[in-house]
Structure 1
Amino acid sequence: MDKKVNFTEDFFDILIKNEVVMEAAPLDEQQEYIQPDDDFDFHAYRILLLIRICGIINEPFFSKSTIYGRGKFSFFDFLIRYPFYLKRVIDIEKKTKLLDDLKLKSFESERALSPMIKYIRGPWDHRYDAILNYMVSKGLIRVEFNNFNKNKKAMCLTLTKLGSKISEQIIEEEPVWVDRMEIINAIFPKNSTNERINDYIRKHFPSLMLGIEGE
């Protein structure tokens, strides 16, 4: 018989003879650890704040905070999740006064918080569809392909009444995120189009686009 098998059997025989019991909490008390990046509530929390701070109210098209444009939304979220890229944007725009509000921590300049993939026009998280559907199911946002002015349509992420209420509470809890989102507003006007953001990524961060190498 294989020595490895003998060792394994002897090991379990010793455990049985000594009545060794593995300690474990009852099933109803056990908690499963979820990585923050796999937690939809974590993403919803951040996205609600992003729509509230970087969104725009543009009646009669939408009366509550809205971010319109698929690429615009994902790039803004990318800058919050990867704040060292936001620092690069500040450097590109030569708006050094904004660095004081960035409050970039050392670990945030070394690695990304979570993975996002290259997409045709920039970064995109493959879980966005599920995350946004989750937020819609909770009554926090509306997601529609709709007009954002008289002539153009785009994917629109709009806060509901409940989403607006919760986002106001998050403002009080996350001053660093708020400051960073206001930096985005200081660089990119709230009425920036998807096309403008795509052009900006293509010009300054081509490596974030699928099929384009280098920067």
Structure 2
Amino acid sequence: MTEERNSLKEFFNYLRHHDLKMETVPLKEQKDYQHPDDDVDFHAYRILLLIFICGILKPTFFDNFTIYGRGKFSFYDFLIRYPFYLEKALRIKNKEDKIKDLEIKHYETEEAFSPMIRYIRGPWDHKYPDILNYMVSKNLITVHYSYFNKSQKAFCITLTDLGLETAQKIQTEEPIWTKRMEAINAIFRKDAQNQTIEMFVREHFSTLILGNAGE
């Protein structure tokens, strides 16, 4: 340890004696590392594809692909962030033939690439308001509380024309995500209501609900 300190001291003394400076990137060119989970564009990218693949077209009620139901949206997003739960859901619904299409990597069984929290009715991300507001500001989606049938309203996220165009481009670049989202469609009907999803979570994944312990 003493030798290391002496060597380091000699190194800096040499720099001072010869008026040498260590080469660094100019301050204005330095970039701070940003974790993907803190990158709003990263989330917007995934959510656009999710609405396009798992959303529904109902011209009488919506202008474009729409996911309706706050819990439905957050649980679908959860299944993409935690694909090993998507595999469990496929087994529960006897859709084992779809599992190979998920192409789950080993590291994906150990941790999520983008964590979520347990909330009142299931998984949730406290960043959703900021993420969705950002997407609205970029004219990618509209967020509204609207009828999804003749008698019921729900929280809705609808693609704009720009959002649809962007989502279609993302689909060509993300075949694995696309297959995983299509697997969600194999588990739940596209017109599945929020209550259906919440009942599924409560019955099969109760630990995802705030205050519950044990499966």
Give the secondary structure class of the aligned counterpart of 1:123: strand
Q: Which residue of 2 aligns with 1:209?
A: 209
Range with bigger deviation, 14-23 or 31-40 = 14-23
Unaligned runs of 5+ residues in structure 1 are: 1-6
Q: Which residue of 1 aligns with 2:178?
A: 178
By how many angstroms is 1:91 displaced? 1.4
Range with bigger deviation, 145-154 or 19-28 = 19-28
Give the secondary structure class of the aligned counterpart of 1:192: coil
Q: CA-to-partner distance for each residue in 1:174-198, whole Å, 9 max, x for gaps?
A: 0000000000001100100000100
Partners of 2:116 and 2:46 lie apart in 1 by 15
Q: Which residue of 2 aligns with 1:114?
A: 114
Q: Which residue of 1 aligns with 2:80?
A: 80
Partners of 1:17 and 1:90 lie apart in 2 by 68
Q: CA-to-partner distance for each residue in 1:97-137, whole Å, 9 max, x for gaps?
A: 01121111111112121221111000001100000000000
Q: Which residue of 1 aligns with 2:24?
A: 24
Of all paired residues, the percent bearing the same amino acid is: 57
Partners of 1:61 and 1:22 lie apart in 2 by 63
By how many angstroms is 1:11 displaced? 8.7
Q: CA-to-partner distance for each residue in 1:125-178, whole Å, 9 max, x for gaps?
A: 110000000000000000011111111111100000100000010110000000
Q: Which residue of 1 aligns with 2:133?
A: 133
Partners of 1:134 and 1:41 lie apart in 2 by 9
By how many angstroms is 1:24 displaced? 1.7
Partners of 1:54 and 1:156 lie apart in 2 by 13
Unaligned runs of 5+ residues in structure 2 are: 1-5
Partners of 1:122 and 1:155 lie apart in 2 by 16
Letter in 2 for 1:35: H
By how many angstroms is 1:12 displaced? 11
Q: Which residue of 2 aligns with 1:65?
A: 65
Compute the RMSD of aligned alpha carbons.
1.7
Give the secondary structure class of the aligned counterpart of 1:85: helix
So what's the TM-score if we normalise by structure 2? 0.91
Aligned length: 207
By how many angstroms is 1:59 displaced? 2.0
1:11-50 matched pairs, under 5 angstroms: 14=13, 16-50=16-50
- 11 and 72 in structure 1: CA distance in 2 versus 1, 3 angstrom threshold: farther
Letter in 1 for 2:94: K
Q: Which residue of 2 aligns with 1:3?
A: none
Give the secondary structure class of the aligned counterpart of 1:57: coil
Partners of 1:160 and 1:16 lie apart in 2 by 60
Q: Which residue of 2 aligns with 1:198?
A: 198
Q: Is the 8 A contact 2:81 2:115 kept in 1?
A: no
Runs of 4+ deviating beyond 2 Å: 10-23
